[in-house]
């Protein structure tokens, strides 16, 4: 007998296929009224599979009295009500490590792009601008100061890459990370003041909401560059637009936004901003590992009673 799980939304074709092969899966997104469906049938499910983009709040969790595991496709889990799950004794898993390197690569890519003007120069050349002129001088990357907000797997991977660019690295977290080669900075505004580049690499959710506010952006300064590859909610987007418009902040490289897929119009008009579409983990290699990890966690739970990557 296959275990019965409910899947909140489509994950990827390979992950969906493996789940459908190994479990009795109900695709919740195909129900006309998912809440009514769960109210009537929620008790039959033993587990949940969820894509990082889909919400799995207390409403869903409380409608699943017999589900004991939520497997999340993604390292971030800010859309899962982990507290509600814990109260019910449910385990929640994510997909750590497998995308740290790709996300860190993109953070460096954004930092270099904004500082050296790769995207703007590409637009300049395509528009024929080089035939009659040259781009203005840009900003050096190597040897500069890199501040990291967040120092988990992704933050540490950014730190290693930055060290390879001869950058000085400091990080801000609530508590210092033991054994880190980099200096811990207890104050985020002080880190921003010191940094030439501030990379947001912390989890999203209510605890980190708008940590990067007007004061932090101002401390980063008119030559400073903000890179966000974490969650849009960590940055006060209205303050970011204002700081860029008024020149209080030098530039920004953004992969994530407060209200995806909506990118503030004002940012689209700015050459000192590089806008991406939440693609940091979007490589064939990390995608395949994420697919395996979400399924491996469910399998492990049903085999041993323990997920492999508890959050």
Which residues, including other chains, have CB under 8 Å from residue 102's CB and lie 6 or more apart? 280, 281, 282, 283, 285, 286
- Catalytically active residues are 231, 260, 278
Q: What is the DSSP string of 28-83?
A: GGGSSSHHHHHHHHGGG-SEEEEETTS-B-HHHHHT-TT--EEEEESS--TTB-HH
Looking at the Cβ atoms of 76 and 224, the one nearer to ligand 8YV is: 76
Strand partners, 24: 4
CA distance 109 to 117: 11
Residues 6+ apart with CB under 8 A from 297: 69, 71, 93, 307, 308, 309
DSSP code, position 3: P
User: Which residues in this chain contact ligand 8YV in the complex, by CB under 6 A?
Assistant: 52, 74-76, 99, 278, 281-282
């Amino acid at each position: 007998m296959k275990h019965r799980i409910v899947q909140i939304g489509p994950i990827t074709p390979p992950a969906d296929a493996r789940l459908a092969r190994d479990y009795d899966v109900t695709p919740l997104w195909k129900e006309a009224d998912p809440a009514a469906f769960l109210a009537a049938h929620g008790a039959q499910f033993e587990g949940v599979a969820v894509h990082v983009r889909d919400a799995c709040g207390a409403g869903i969790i409380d409608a699943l009295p017999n589900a004991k595991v939520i497997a999340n496709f993604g390292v971030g889990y800010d859309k899962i009500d982990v507290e509600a799950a814990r109260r019910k004794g449910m385990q929640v898993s994510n997909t750590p490590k497998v995308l740290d390197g790709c996300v860190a690569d993109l953070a460096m890519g954004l930092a270099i792009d904004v500082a050296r003007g790769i995207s703007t120069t590409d637009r300049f050349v395509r528009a024929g601008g080089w035939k009659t002129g040259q781009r203005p001088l840009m900003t050096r990357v190597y040897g500069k100061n890199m501040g990291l907000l967040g120092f988990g797997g992704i933050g540490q991977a950014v730190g290693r890459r930055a060290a390879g660019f001869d950058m000085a690295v400091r990080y801000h977290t609530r508590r210092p990370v033991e054994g880190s080669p980099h200096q811990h900075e207890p104050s985020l505004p002080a880190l921003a003041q010191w940094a030439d580049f501030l990379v947001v690499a912390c989890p999203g959710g209510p605890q980190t909401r708008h940590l990067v506010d007007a004061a932090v952006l101002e401390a980063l300064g008119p030559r400073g560059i903000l890179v966000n590859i974490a969650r849009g909610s960590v940055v006060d987007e209205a303050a970011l637009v204002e700081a860029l418009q008024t020149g209080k902040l030098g530039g920004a490289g953004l992969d994530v936004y407060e209200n995806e897929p909506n990118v503030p119009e004002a940012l689209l008009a700015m050459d000192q901003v590089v806008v991406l579409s939440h693609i940091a983990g979007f490589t064939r290699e990390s995608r395949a590992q994420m697919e395996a990890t979400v399924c491996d966690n469910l399998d492990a739970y049903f085999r041993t009673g323990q997920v492999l990557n508890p959050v």
